[in-house]
Amino acid sequence: MGGAQIGWRTDRYLGDGKGALPLSLYGRLSTALREPAAPEAAFGIAAHPLSGRIPVSIGLERRIPLDNDARGAFAVIAATGLNPTAIGGGITAEGYAQAGIVGFARADPFADGRLSLTTALDGQQRSGAGFSLSGGAQPGVARLDIGPVLHHRLPLGTVRARLSVEWKQRIAGHAAPGSGPAVTLASDF
């Protein structure tokens, strides 16, 4: 938990993504950038009972280890998020939370989340600054971080990308590394 990581995830709705209970298939790859890297791939299916400003998804995935440090297991995951929402005074709230269990024979619960409060730095609301609170827990390790965040939405044609730079000051837990910077590049396409 913590440290430099890189990952990729692609979701694809089955059908038009609408209806009583939209379903999606997804695949992802992730790895730490330091040893033990524990690279893994995962494939899953997710139900989306709620969409909109606060979406909810419930997924079942199969994790596939790509080396001897990663764990192969099924996982059940429930996730929600808060899409960018004006809460007054020029402040925008945004966040996510997820929790789940990895493995059925040896079940390991986990949870993580993040909430940021930012204000626009320009009239087009492409850049913002504020604070974030993030944390996570799994067996034997947990952390809670707070700190300033800057983000900028990048114009990449039809791709919506966002670059965030923040300082994560560890205020609880013992997960390595300690406090430090975090840079995130994310996109939807």
The model's pLDDT over 49-75, given as tens digits with 9 standing for 90+, comes to 888 778 899 999 999 999 998 899 999
Q: In the prediction, which pLDDT does 150 show?
A: 97
Which tokens go with 64?
């596939």
The domain ranges of the chain are: 5-188
The DSSP secondary-structure symbol of 89 reads: T
Closest CA to 43 of 20, 71, 16, 63: 63
Which tokens go with 57?
């998804």
pLDDT grade for 189, boundaries at 50, 70 and 90? low
Q: Is the model's pLDDT at 123 over the cut of 90?
A: no
Which tokens go with 72?
């192969």
Q: What is the pTM of this model?
A: 0.85
Q: Which residue has the tokens 């791939």?
A: 41
d(CA 104, CA 11): 24
Q: In the prediction, which pLDDT does 136 show?
A: 96
Q: In the prediction, which pLDDT does 149 show?
A: 98
